[in-house]
Structure 1
Amino acid sequence: MAHIDYYFGTPSPWTYLAGTRLEEIAARHGTGITYKPLDLLQLFDRTGGIRPANRHPSRMEYRAQELRRWSEYLGMSLNLKPAFWPVNPAPSSYAIIAAQKAGGGDLPALISSFVRAVWAEDLNIADDDVIRAKLSAAGFDPSLADSGLFVGAQAYERNLEEAVEAGAFGAPFYIVRESGERFWGQDRLDFLDRHLSTL
């Protein structure tokens, strides 16, 4: 069975727009997924990227147009100026790491709820109450927000190192372990789908 390492950031609008298409593709092909939340800003720093705050205005204007176009195309509501962005991604990422380890809930739903909270609900995903509510809604014990913080921090940092070593440089980023094929962006999911059909 093929396996995908999925690198993403919880404040990423492109991760939000990916929705649950990765899970739908993986289900069709019997493919496993390991979710690896990381600090996107540090990933940009480590791999030659530019943080949004430092990008030329023309790039940010085009980004806004693309976000609008894609959100309309996918039928997903998106606030181009969310109330809590930028936001500290660590607390929500630690919760995802703890939930993946604990099991028993709907991990893709949890991840989707965090990115939707930023881009469609104007919620602060660094807030403990928001994190607990999202955990509970996805079928996880809300106390996971308070447990395993040290382990979560270690895994979070390890995900960044693994991403750099594996050749990831943005989000969402999908790497097929068996072939080493890399796919960057929610607009490359069709190519990932086609690739999995060849394995």
Structure 2
Amino acid sequence: MAHIDYYFGTPSPWSYLAGDRLERIAARHGATITYKPVDLMQLFDRTGGVRPADRHPSRLEMRAQELQRWSRHLGMPLNLRPAFWPVNPAPSSYAIIAAQQAGGGDLAGLVQSFLRAVWAEEENIADDQVIRAKLSAAGFDPALADKGLFVGAETFGRNLEEAVAAGVFGAPFYILRDSDARFWGQDRLDFLDRELAAP
């Protein structure tokens, strides 16, 4: 059975635009997914990237145009200037990590709800009440927001180290564990699909 390591950031617009396509692809091919939220700002620092605030205006303008194009193409609403961005990714990431460990709910739905909260719903994903509401809506115990703090912090840091070691430098980033085939960006999901379909 194929397995996908999925590296992403909860405040990432490109991870948001991936929607549920990864999950549909995985289901089609009987693949499993491990969700690995990372601190993208630290990842950029470690791998030669540039934080958005430090990018040249021409790059920021191109990013804005591309986000709008993809938003329209995918039919997904996106606010280019969300009320709560930048935002601390740690609390929502800890919640995802704790939920993944606990099991029993809709983990993919939880991940997507945090991404949607930033880019389409004007919610603060670092706010405890928002985190609890998202956990509950996805079928998890909202108390995981507290219970998972230690394990979440430990795993969040480890995810960053694993990402750097695995060649990850942006998000979303998908790695097929068996073959080490790597795919960067929501616009590469079709290639991931083809890779899984190959004999």
- TM-score of the two chains, using structure 1 as the length reference: 0.99
Equivalent pairs: percent with the same residue?
79
The answer to whether the 8 Å contact 2:110/2:138 transfers is: yes
SS of structure 1 residue aligned to 2:22: helix
Is 2:9–2:40's contact at 8 Å kept on the other side of the alignment? Answer: yes
Distance (Å, rounded) in 2 between the aligned partners of 1:22 and 1:89? 21
**2:188 maps to which residue?**
188
- Structure 1: distance between partners of 2:161 and 2:42: 10
Partner of 1:162: 162
Deviation (angstroms), 1:112: 0.3
Indicate yes or no: 2:60 matched with 1:60: yes
Q: Which secondary structure does the structure 1 equivalent of 2:143 belong to?
A: helix
Equivalent residue, structure 2, for 1:135: 135
Partner residue in 2 for 1:84: 84
1:39 aligns to what?
A: 39
Counterpart amino acid of 2:192?
L
Q: Is the 8 A contact 2:97 2:148 kept in 1?
A: no
What is the CA–CA distance in structure 2 between the aligned matches of 1:103 and 1:64, rounded to whole Å? Answer: 36
Instruction: Count how many residue pairs are aligned between Structure 1 and Structure 2.
Output: 199
Q: Is 1:29 equivalent to 2:7 in the alignment?
A: no
Q: Within 5 Å, give how 1:79-158 maps onto structure 2.
A: 79-158=79-158
**Would you identify which runs of 4 or more consecutive aligned residues in structure 1 move more than 3 Å?**
none
Structure 1 residues without counterparts, runs of 5 or longer: none
The RMSD of aligned alpha carbons is 0.5
Aligned mates of 1:17, 1:36 — CA distance in 2: 17
